[in-house]
Amino acid sequence: MGYGRSDSYRVATTQDKDDRSPKKKKGAKDMDDLKKEVPITEHKMSIEEVCRKYQTDIVQGLTNAKAAEYLIRDGPNALTPPPTTPEWVKFCRQLFGGFSVLLWTGAILCFLAYAIQAATEDDPAGDNVSIVLTAVVVITGCFSYFQEAKSSKIMESFKNMVPQQALVIREGEKVQINAEEVVGGDLVEVKGGDRIPADIRVVSAHGCKVDNSSLTGESEPQSRSPDCTHDNPLETRNIAFFSTNCVEGTARGIVICTGDNTVMGRIATLTSGLETGKTPIAKEIEHFIHIITGVAVFLGLTFFILAIVLGYSWLEAVIFLIGIIVANVPEGLLATVTVCLTLTAKRMAKKNCLVKNLEAVETLGSTSTICSDKTGTLTQNRMTVAHMWFDNQIHEADTTEDQSGASFDKSSITWISLARVAALCNRAQFKAGQDQLPILKRDVAGDASESALLKCIELSCGSVRAMRDRNKKVAEIPFNSTNKYQLSVHETEDLNDNRYLLVMKGAPERVLECCSTILVQGKEQPLDEELKEAFQNAYMELGGLGERVLGFCHVLLPEDQYPKGFAFDTDDVNFQTKDLCFVGLMSMIDPPRAAVPDAVGKCRSAGIKVIMVTGDHPITAKAIAKGVGIISEGNETVEDIAARLNIPVSQVNPRDAKACVCHGTDLKDLSQDQMDDILRNHTEIVFARTSPQQKLIIVEGCQRLGAIVAVTGDGVNDSPALKKADIGVAMGISGSDVSKQAADMILLDDNFASIVTGVEEGRLIFDNLKKSIAYTLTSNIPEITPFLLFIIVNIPLPLGTITILCIDLGTDMVPAISLAYEAAESDIMKRQPRNPFRDKLVNERLISIAYGQIVIVCLNPHALGGFFAYFVILAENGFLPTTLVGIRLNWDDRSCNDLEDTYGQQWTYEQRKIVEFTCHTAFFVSIVVVQWADVIICKTRRNSVFQQGMRNKILIFGLFEETALAAFLSYCPGMDVALRMYPLKPSWWFCAFPYSFLIFVYDEVRKLLIRRNPGGWVERETYY
Amino acid sequence: MQANKDSDGGWRTFVWNSEKKEFLGRTGSSWLKIFLFYVIFYGCLAGIFIGTIQALLLTLSNYKPTYQDRVAPPGLSHTPRSEKSEIAFSLSDASSYKKYTDAMTKFLKKYDDDKQTDQMKFEDCGGKCQLMPERFLKCRDTVSSTPWLIVKLNRIVNFSEGGRPPMNNSVEEFLLPKLKPNLIPIFCKNKREEDADKIGEIKFFGLGEGFPLQYYPYYGKLLHPQYLQPLVAIQFNNLTLNEELRIECKVFGENIGYSEKDRYQGRFDVKFNIAS
C-alpha cells in the first residue's frame, strides 16, 4: 500500500514540476497530497536499491556533474517562502473593507454635491461632511491596519531551521558545502550537534541519536541505525529527518528528499498553504455589516427616489442620500469592537494568555472542542518516577510539581538497595552550578528516564554524587537494544569489604531472567513461581498505567572469584551476569500538571469537549487521559468493555462506549464518514500515535461537524493543525518558534489551565460586545428619523450630518467601550458554548428592535427625546409645531429673509439657520441624555441594574466623559464656525430627561418579565 | 451552486412556511401578539410625546415668544427678492423682469388703499396709516426703466427700534442731514469703491426717508392682526447698464445691529446687473 501511494505521489510531483504554471488548479490537489502520509519508501529498500535509485555510490558519493544536474532539476534544498501579500494591498483592504465603501461613497457624493454647489453659487456652505467622512475612513483604516500589522511570518521561522553547512561526500572527497546545495543522492555525514541537512536514509551509524522533537513533539532522543525497524517512515530507525538535531554519535546517509519534499518541508508547505477560515467574530461582524449596509443602501435609495418623486432637485436628493447613509452606518462601531478586543487581549496577557490575533480573543470563548497535545501541555514534560514495586508491594511516589503529594515508607532495606542500584546504574548527572535550585528544577545531562531516577533518588536519599563517589565505578556496559539492560560494577562503600557490587537495570523481563533470588524485606529469597507471578502482576499493572517500567537487580560479586583489582572486560564479558538478586521495579511517567484535571473539569462543565491528540503510545495516552479527566471515571472504551465482559472487541456495540482511544495507524484507513462517526458518537476521545497530517485531519473532522476547534500544541508537527484550527494555541516555554508563528494565541506558562481563563474572557467579551452593539445601534438607528421627517413632513432638519458624526464618533465611543469592562451576569463557565449558527452577535431581535423603530417613524425614546428638544427650541423662539409643518421650502430658501413665525415675527435666513443648528445641538444633547439611561440599561441583558450594581468605574467615567464632551461641543467658542453647534440654554438640557427615565423604566420592566418568566414571550421577542 | 439553491429554498420558506403556517417566520397569532405589543408600545410613546408637547405649549405665552435673542436685531428685507443676492434683467426684454414686477405687485396688494379703509382696524394709527403713497404706484410701472426696491424692517414682537442712533464715529457724516426725529433713516451706497460714480442717483420714497417710529413696536399677530409695517421705496435712477454693481443699504438706529455672517441684519447688499 505504501508503495502504491508513494508512486502516485511521485508522479504527481514530477508532473507538477513539468508544468508549474497552472498552479491554481493544482493547488487543491497538492494540499490533499500533503495531507496524506509521508510517501517515503526508501527505508524499506536495501542500501543498494537506494543507491541505484539516486545513481549514487555508497563510498564515492555523487559526481559533481550529477549533483549539479540534480540541483538544477530539484532546485535548492530550501523551503519556498509562501507568497506574501504586499503591505499596500493589506492597507487598501483595511481602507476599503467593512463600512468604508459606504462611507467613501458618501464622501464622494458629498464632494460632488459640493462641487456642483461651488460651480453654481458664489459662497457654498463649507464642505465639512466629505472631509470629516474621509478622515473617519482613513483614521479607522489606519487603526485597523496597525492592529493587523503584527501578522504571522510562518515561513521565516522555518527558514531559520535550515542548517547552514553540510558535510557531503562527492567523488570520494569530503566537502563542506552550503546546505542549500545538497541534492538527492548526496552522501552526507552528520555528527553530534549537527542539524540534519535533508531527509536521509542512514547507511551507517555509530551511537547516533537524534532529537526529533521539532517533528514529533517528543523530546526523547532516538537512536539511528541502518536497519529498517518499522513500516512507517516516521517510526523507522534508518531515516533521519531534515532540520532535526543529531544529539550524539555519527552517521552517514544518502539524501532522499530535499527542500519542500522533505517531511519538514511538507509540513511547512502544508502549514503556510492552509486556508484558515474567518474567525467566528469576523463572520459575525461581516454578517452585521451586511445587514447594516443592506438597510442603509435600501433606505438611501428609497428616499432618493422618493425625494425625486416629491419634486426635490437631484442635488437635494443626493444630500438626503448621504444623510441617510451617514445616519445608518455606525461609524465608530468597528473601532469600538477593536478597542474592546484589544482591552480583553491585554487582560488575558496578564493571565498568561498572549493573543497574537485580536479576533482570536473571542474565538476561544465560542470554542466547543479543544484538541490538546499531551506532552508539555497536559503533562509536565519531564519523566518522573511514579511507582515502585519492592517488598512485593506497589509504592506510590510523589509526582506533583511542588512535592506536596503522598510519600511512602522509606525505611525498608529493600528501598535502600533499590535506591543504591538506581543511583549507581545511572549515567545522568546534574549540570554544574545549580546547587541553590530546587532539585526538580535542575537541568540534567542524560536521558529522560535516567534523569527521572536521578531526581527521585536525590530527593529521597540525598546527594547521588556523594553516593557515586563512595562507590567508585570500575566497569560499565551501557544500554543497547540487544541486551536491553545496562550494568555497572562498583566498589562498595564499606572500606573493609573488598567485594565488588554489580548493579543492573533494564527491561524488567530481561532483568528478571538474570535473577535467581529476590530481595524481600531486606532478605534474599529464592525467586519462586509465586514471586514471579507477583512480579508479573506488578509489571502488568504498572505497564497498564502507561508507565515506563524498569527492573533493578544487584549482586555482590564473591571476593574469591573477583578479587580487588580484577580487570572487568565489558566487551568480552568475563564476569557473572546471571543469578543476580532482583531488587524491584520503578516506573516512570510524564505526570499531568496539577491544575489540568480541574481545568478539564471546568471545560466539561462549560460544554467544551476535550480531545487528546498525541504522538505518544495509546496506553500512556489513555493513562494520562484518565489521570486528567479527559476520559472521566467510569467511562469505558470499547476495549475496556470487551475486557470486562470477556467478549471479542467486535461484539461490543461501539455506541455503548463513551470513551474512545484511537490509534494513528487506524486513523489512516478511516473514511470521512467513519471519522465523523467517531467524533460524533464518543464524548471522550484520545488519538494516539498521530502524525502531523492526521492531527490536521482530526481538526478538519471536528470543524466539519460544526465545532469551533481550539488546538494546543508545541511542536512543528502541531503547526498545520494549529493553523487550521479556529484558534491555535502554542506553548510559550516549550513551544517551537514555528508553532508559535502558526498559532493565534500563546500560553506563556504552558499551562492548559490558562486556556480556561481564555475561554472565560472570550465568552465575557462576546456578551459585552453584544451590549456595546446594542448600545450603539439603539442610538444609531434613530438618527435616520430626522431625515425621514424632513423629507416627508417638510420640517426644518432636526439633526445634521455633522452632529450624527459627533454622536457616532464622539460621545458614544467611550461608553460603548466601557461596556467591555462589564462583569459577567452569571456564571458563564456553566453554560454551553454558543452555537455559531444560532447565537449571533447581532440577532434578528436586536435588528428588529433597532429598525422596528423606523417602521413607525421616529417613535422611539432616543428620537422622541431629540424631537421634543427640537420642538421646544423652535417653539420658544416663536415657531410652534403647527407652523413648522410644510415650512421647509421657505425655511431653506436663502433669498427669503422675512420668514414669518407663529407670532408674526420675520426672520432672516441666517437668523433661523442659527436656531436650526441650535436644534441640531439640542437633538445631539438629548441623544446623549437618553444614552445615559441606555448605557445603564445595556450593562445587563437579564439582570436588573440594581442587582448588577454600578461597579464598572470605566462606565461611570464614560458617562461623565460623554456629558463633558457634549457640553464642550455646545459651549466651546468657535464651535459655531467649526461644527455649527451653538450654546444651549440650560433648560434645554432637561428636555430629554423624561424620555431617559422612561426607557430606563421600560427596560427594567422588560428584564423583570424575562427573569420572572424565563423562555416566555417577552424573552423570545426582546432578548438579544 | 448547491448552497445557493439551499438558501433560495430557505428564503422561500421564510416568506411562507406552509408546514408551520408561518409568514415571514411567524405564525398568525405570533404576528398578532407582536403587533399588539408594538401598538401598545408605540401608543404609549406617542401618548407621552404628545403629553410633553402639550406641557410645552402650556408654558408658552400667546403674545410673545419666550426667547427673542435670535431674531433681534431685526433684519432688513427687500422686495423683489434677489436670487443669490442678484437682480438681473434686460431692459429690452420684458419677460426678464416680469418676475420682479409681479413680486412687487403681489407684495403691495395688501397695502392697497381699499384695504386700509376699515377704520375699525386702523383706529389707533389715525391718518398716518396711509402707507401706500401714490408715488409707490409708480414703482410698479417704471421698474423697467429704473429699478425699484421696496424695503421693510423685519417685524419683531415688542421690539422698540430706536430712532436716533448714537451720535458717534459710527454714523457717517452723510447721515447728518437725513436725521429726523422719530425716523429710522435708511441709506444706500456703493459697496465697492470703484463703483462710486456708476450708481448714479438714489431716491428714497416713503413716510420720510426712512421708517417712522410711530409704527413701532409691533405687538404680535394676536394683538395686531392687520398690522402693516412701514415701507421705503428706493429708486435707482441712473444705474450704469451692462455692468455688475453692488449696492449696500443700511438702516441706522439704537437697537439696530449688524452681523458679519448675516448679510440681512440691519442691512443688505444686492447686486444689480441690468442689460440694456
Per-residue pLDDT tens over the stretch A780-837: 777 888 888 888 888 998 888 888 888 888 888 889 989 988 888 877 888 888 887 7
Q: Shortest CB distance from A878 goes to which of B42, B65, B268?
A: B65
Q: Is A389 on the interface with B (CB under 8 A)?
A: no
Q: Do B52 and A994 touch (CB under 8 A)?
A: yes
User: Is 50 exceeded by the pLDDT of residue B7?
Assistant: no
Question: Which tens digit of pLDDT belongs to each residue from A607-639?
Answer: 999 999 988 888 888 888 988 888 888 888 888
The reported pLDDT for the residue numbered B206 is 74
Say what the pLDDT of residue B116 is.
52
What average pLDDT does this structure show over A356-369? 84
- pLDDT-derived band at A957 (thresholds 50, 70, 90) equals very high
In the structure, what pLDDT confidence band is assigned to residue A217 with cuts at 50, 70 and 90? low
Whether residue A11 is predicted with pLDDT greater than 50 in this model: the reply is no
- For position A916, what pLDDT does the model report? 93
Mean pLDDT of A495-511: 87
Whether residue A429 is predicted with pLDDT greater than 70 in this model: the reply is: yes
Q: How confident is the model at residue B124 (pLDDT cuts 50, 70, 90)?
A: very low
- C-alpha angle A859/A864/A868, rounded to 5°? 145
Q: Which residues of A touch B45 (CB under 8 A)?
A: 859-861, 864
Query: Which chain B residues have a beta carbon less than 8 Å from that of A903?
Result: 63-65, 157, 220-222
**Has residue A564 got a pLDDT over 70?**
yes
Nearest CA in chain B to A122: B84
- Counting residues of chain B whose pLDDT is more than 70, the rounded percentage is 75
Comparison of pLDDT for A533 and A235, the residue scoring more: A533
- Asked if A852 is an interface residue toward chain B (Cβ–Cβ < 8 A), one would say yes
- What band does A1 get if pLDDT is binned at 50, 70 and 90? very low
Selected residue of B7, B38, B44, B45 to mutate for chain A interface (largest A Cβ count, 10 A):
B45
Q: Cβ separation of B156 and A861 shorter than 8 Å?
A: no
Asked if B167 has any chain A CB less than 8 Å from its own CB, the reply is no
Mean pLDDT of A511-519: 89
A59 touches chain B (CB under 8 A): no
Amino acid (one-letter) located at A301: L
Rounded Cα distance, A810 and A966, in Å: 9
pLDDT score of A128: 66
Cβ A935 vs Cβ A958: under 8 Å? yes
Query: φ and ψ at A398, to 5 degrees?
Result: -85, 120
Pairing of strands A580-589, A384-390: antiparallel
Which band of pLDDT confidence, cut at 50, 70 and 90, is reported for residue B230? Answer: confident
Contact predicate A988/A924, CB 8 Å: no
Q: Is the pLDDT of residue A961 over 90?
A: yes
Task: Write out A898-967 in H/E/C secondary structure.
Answer: CEECCCCCEECHHHHHHHHHHHHHHHHHHHHHHHHHHHHHHCCCCCCHHHHCCCCHHHHHHHHHHHHHHH
Contact at CB, B83 and A895, closer than 8 angstroms: yes
Is the per-residue pLDDT at B216 higher than 70? yes
B31 CB within 8 Å of a chain A CB: no
Are B156 and A906 an interchain contact pair (Cβ–Cβ within 8 Å)?
yes
Greater confidence, A500 or B23?
A500
Q: Model pTM greater than 0.80?
A: no
Q: What is the pLDDT of residue A987?
A: 92
Q: What 3-state DSSP class applies to A803?
A: helix
Q: What is the DSSP string of A880-899?
A: -HHHHTT-HHHHT-TT---E
Please answer whether residues A137 and A24 qualify as being in contact, where contact means their C-beta atoms are separated by less than 8 angstroms: no
Whole-angstrom distance between the N-terminal and C-terminal Cα of chain A? 55
| Radius of gyration (C-alpha) of chain A in whole angstroms | 37
CA distance A950 to chain B (A): 28
Percent above pLDDT 70 for chain A: 90
> How far from the centroid of its chain's Cα atoms is residue B217's Cα?
18
The CA distance from A745 to A754, in Å, is 11
Angstroms from B68 CA to nearest CA on chain A: 6
> Which positions in chain A touch B63 (Cβ < 8 Å)?
903
Please indicate if any CB of chain A lies within 8 Å of the CB of B56.
yes
Q: What are phi and psi of A257, to 5 degrees?
A: -140, 145
Q: What is the pLDDT of residue A21?
A: 38
B134: confidence class by pLDDT, cuts 50, 70, 90: very low
- Contact criterion met (CB below 8 Å) for A245 and A189: no
Between the ranges A335-349, A403-417, B10-24, where is the mean pLDDT highest? A335-349
Q: Tens digits of per-residue pLDDT, A823-855? A: 888 778 888 888 877 777 777 677 766 665 444
H or E segment at B95? helix B94-109
Q: What chain B residue is nearest to A896 in terms of C-alpha separation?
A: B81
CB contact under 8 Å between B227 and A904, yes or no, is yes
Pairing between strand A659-663 and A429-430? unpaired
pLDDT computed for residue A405 by the predictor: 61
Residues of chain B neighbouring A901 (CB-CB closer than 8 A): 65, 71
- Please answer yes or no on whether B81 and A871 come within 8 Å at the CB atom: no
Q: What is the pLDDT of residues A673-695, one digit of tens each?
A: 888 888 888 888 999 888 888 88
More confident site: A322 or A157: A322
pLDDT at A178: 84
Q: What is the pLDDT of residues B151-178, one digit of tens each?
A: 888 888 888 776 555 554 455 556 666 6
pLDDT for B227: 80
Best to test chain A binding among B36, B50, B66, B152 (most A CBs inside 10 Å): B66
Judged by average pLDDT, the poorest of A498-507, A934-943, B203-212 is B203-212
Q: Please give the pLDDT value at position A155.
A: 43
Distances from the Cα of B246 to the Cαs of A862, B78, B86, B192, B243, in angstroms? 48, 15, 9, 7, 10
B264 and chain A: CB distance < 8 Å anywhere? yes
- Judge whether A907 is closer than 8 Å to chain B, CB to CB: yes
Reported as type and span, the H/E element at residue B52 is helix B28-59
In terms of Cβ atoms closer than 10 Å to its own Cβ (0-12, 13-18, 19+), residue A19 is exposed
Q: CA B197, CA B192: separation in Å to the nearest integer?
A: 11
pLDDT value at position A293? Answer: 84
Concerning whether A373 is annotated as a catalytic residue, the answer is yes
Nearest to A875 among B33, B60, B75 (CB): B60
In angstroms, what separates the C-alpha of A325 from chain B's closest C-alpha?
25
The mean of the pLDDT values for chain A is 82
Angle between helices A333-350 and A128-148 (to 10 degrees): 30
Confidence of residue A22 (pLDDT cuts 50, 70, 90): very low
- Residue B221 clears pLDDT 50, i.e. is over it: yes
With vertex at residue A419, the alpha carbon angle to CA A414 and CA A422, rounded to the nearest 5 degrees, is: 125
Per-residue cell: A940: 445587563
**pLDDT higher than 70, residue A560:** yes
3-state secondary structure of A581: strand
Q: Which of A476, A525, A477, A501 is nearest to A421 (CA)?
A: A501
The answer to whether the Cα torsion of A680, A682, A684, A685 is positive or negative is negative
* Contacts A121 to B, Cβ<8 Å: 84
The total number of residues shown for chain B amounts to 276
Among residues A57, A74, A194, A373, the one annotated as catalytic is: A373
* A-chain residues near B66 (CB < 8 A): 875-877
| Residue A234 reports pLDDT greater than 60 | yes
Task: Categorize the per-residue pLDDT at A219 as very low, low, confident or very high, splitting at 50, 70 and 90.
Answer: low
Chain B residue nearest residue A904, CA to CA: B221
Q: What is the Cα–Cα distance from A827 to A953, expressed in whole angstroms?
A: 21
Please say whether the beta carbons of A795 and A884 come within 8 A. Answer: yes
A150, burial (CB in 10 Å: exposed 0-12, middle 13-18, buried 19+): exposed
What is residue A354's predicted lDDT score, i.e. its pLDDT? 83
pLDDT given at position A206: 84
pLDDT band (50, 70, 90) for residue B44: confident
* pLDDT score recorded for residue B176: 62
Tell me the chain A residues in contact with residue B259 when contact means C-beta distances shorter than 8 Å.
910
Average pLDDT over residues B262-275: 87
Residues of A in contact with B75 (CB under 8 A): 897-898, 906-908, 911
Residue of B nearest to A881 (CA): B53
Instruction: Report the distance separating Cα A188 and Cα A177, nearest Å.
Output: 10
Upstream peptide bond of B217 is cis (omega within 30 degrees of 0): yes
Which residue intervals of A705-831 are DSSP H helices?
719-724, 737-742, 753-780, 785-792, 801-805, 813-818
**Minimum-distance CB partner of B81 among A856, A864, A895:** A895
Choose the weakest-confidence range: A36-50, A239-253, A256-270, A528-542.
Answer: A36-50
- A897·B259 Cβ contact <8 A: no
A235 or A200, which is more confident?
Answer: A200
Task: Pick the closest to residue A698 from A596, A621, A813, A611 (CA basis).
Answer: A611
Residue for grid cell 437618553: A930
In this prediction, what percent of chain A has a pLDDT beyond 90? 10
Give per-residue pLDDT as tens, A56-99. Answer: 888 888 888 888 888 888 888 877 776 667 778 878 887 887 77
CB pair distance less than 8 Å for A859 and B34? no
User: Nearest 5 degrees, angle CA A572-CA A577-CA A580?
Assistant: 170
Q: So what's the pLDDT on residue A558?
A: 86
pLDDT at residue A773 tops 70: yes
A130 has a pLDDT exceeding 80? no
Strands A523-526 and B16-17 come out as: unpaired
> Closest-CA residue in chain A for B270?
A895
Q: What does the pLDDT look like over A299-321, one tens digit per residue?
A: 888 888 888 887 778 877 887 78
